[in-house]
Amino acid sequence: MTIRLSSRLFEWLAIVAASVVMCAVLGDDQGHADEPLVQKLLISFTFTASIWEGNRMLFGVMRRRWPRPDQTVRRLAEQIPVQIVFTIVTSLLLKTVLGVLLPECRTDAADMLKQALFNLMPTAVVTLFYESRYFFVEWKANLTRVESLARTAAQSQLDALRQQLDPHFLFNSLNTLAALIDDDEPAQAQRYLSQLADVYRYVLLAKDRDTVPLHEELAFVDAYIALNKVRFRENLLVENTIPASSHQRRVAPLSVQTLVENALKHNVISREHPLALRLEAAGPDTIRVANPVRPKALLAPGTRVGLANLVRRYALLTTTPVEVSAEGGEFQVSLPLL
């Protein structure tokens, strides 16, 4: 609130200063040298404040319409012509009203148009002032977002490594591999070992990236699911209907895998209650991971910490939120495609 008040106070001080400058620049150019100085200043202030405030409100409208920094050119291309028209029309209207209220200030059409065009100069100053400030504020905000994303990504990478290298995961994987070897199934054991290596390789390669192509994430998820299907067999059912047209879009690394892992970690998987996972499109710009909710009697500590971290990461990557739903006995998480 204090910052907002200070900003508005500074703006009004700038309006007063601009009014004085405009009064001095125009001076006696309008042919009214005998007008009192106070009257000249009030007239100049009225023109300057009206044009300044009108343009300020116009900036707000345009920034809500085109808010992103990469839309600056498009915003200015639409904004500047409107500013020019607004300034000229406002100047002519004010000059007309002034001529009615103060007959001695009445001028002909040529002089009115001349002053209206002259008022484009303070409009240019106002535009430069607000655009420079907006650029600086957005630059600082973007810098903060980048730093936050770096910190969150670093923590996410560490969490992912901890999760994937979790002793339970290693213990189960190595036990499964040992069972395959004991059962004299070298081909399946080799395939399992290769998939296990793919999982770890992806985690290490993705740790330095903010986003990855969806097809890479899905390939990693396939390897991760394949490892778990060896353990759960027909009790784990996975249906992937994400269209190929979405595969070149990008997602946060380990995002889809986090949702799959949460489903495996927190739900009962048995012959009586097989876990059916669905990976599907939830729209042209969204994918969804869904599963029935059958919570285990005892949940592991840290439930849904990975999901909360994922929501924070996406908040730094896009304005489109991650949508989480747990209705009708089904848990769904929708991820925006980047």
What pLDDT does residue 301 have?
47
CA–CA gap between residue 166 and residue 238 (Å, rounded): 23
Minimum mean pLDDT range among 92-101, 123-132, 170-179, 298-307:
298-307
The whole-number average pLDDT for the span 266-290 is 92
The DSSP call for residue 318 is -
Residue 34 φ/ψ, nearest 5 degrees: -85, 0
State percent of the chain over pLDDT 70: 78
The whole-number average pLDDT for the span 107-119 is 73
CA–CA gap between residue 278 and residue 332 (Å, rounded): 9
Name 276's bridge partners. Answer: 237
The whole-number average pLDDT for the span 47-56 is 82
Average pLDDT, the chain: 78
Find tokens 């303070």 and name the residue.
122
- Amino acid (one-letter) located at 183: D
With a cut of 90, say whether residue 147 has pLDDT above it: no
Q: Long-range contact list for 28-36, CB < 8 A, 24+ apart?
A: 30/105, 30/107, 30/111, 30/115, 31/107, 32/104, 32/105, 35/104, 35/105
* The Cα angle at residue 270 between residues 230 and 160, in degrees rounded to 5: 55
Higher pLDDT, 334 or 118: 334
Rounded to a whole number of angstroms, the CA Rg of the chain reads 32
Would you say 277 and 260 are in contact if contact means Cβ atoms under 8 Å apart?
yes
The whole-number average pLDDT for the span 264-290 is 92
Q: Is 51 buried (19+), middle (13-18) or exposed (0-12) by CB count in 10 A?
A: buried
**Nearest to 125, CA basis, from 42, 17, 278:** 17
Higher pLDDT, 231 or 34: 231
With a cut of 80, say whether residue 35 has pLDDT above it: no
Residue-wise pLDDT tens digits, 297-319? 765 544 455 788 888 888 878 88
Minimum mean pLDDT range among 69-78, 101-110, 215-224:
101-110
The DSSP call for residue 234 is G
Minimum mean pLDDT range among 4-13, 48-57, 253-262, 280-289:
4-13
**Nearest to 211, CA basis, from 336, 93, 87, 297:** 336
Cα 300 to Cα 110, 161, 252, 264, 303, distances in angstroms: 81, 18, 25, 12, 6
What pLDDT does residue 25 have?
66
| Tokens read off for 262 | 């949460």
With a cut of 80, say whether residue 82 has pLDDT above it: yes
Residue-wise pLDDT tens digits, 178-222? 677 766 667 777 777 777 777 777 877 776 788 899 999 999 899
Cα 229 to Cα 195, 223, 239, 276, distances in angstroms: 12, 10, 13, 12
Residue 243: Cβ within 10 Å count: 10
What pLDDT does residue 27 have?
56
Give per-residue burial for 321-334: e unless 16+ CB within 10 Å, then b: ebeeeeeeeebbbb
What pLDDT does residue 11 have?
74
Share of the chain residues as helix, strand and coil, in percent rounded to the nearest 5: 70, 10, 20
Packed helices 214-232 and 255-266: angle between N→C axes, nearest 10 degrees: 20
Would you say 91 and 43 are in contact if contact means Cβ atoms under 8 Å apart?
no
Residue 95 φ/ψ, nearest 5 degrees: -65, -35
Confidence band for 337, pLDDT divided at 50, 70 and 90 = very high
Cα 28 to Cα 36, 40, 56, 104, 317, distances in angstroms: 11, 10, 29, 13, 57
Minimum mean pLDDT range among 84-93, 114-123, 150-159:
150-159
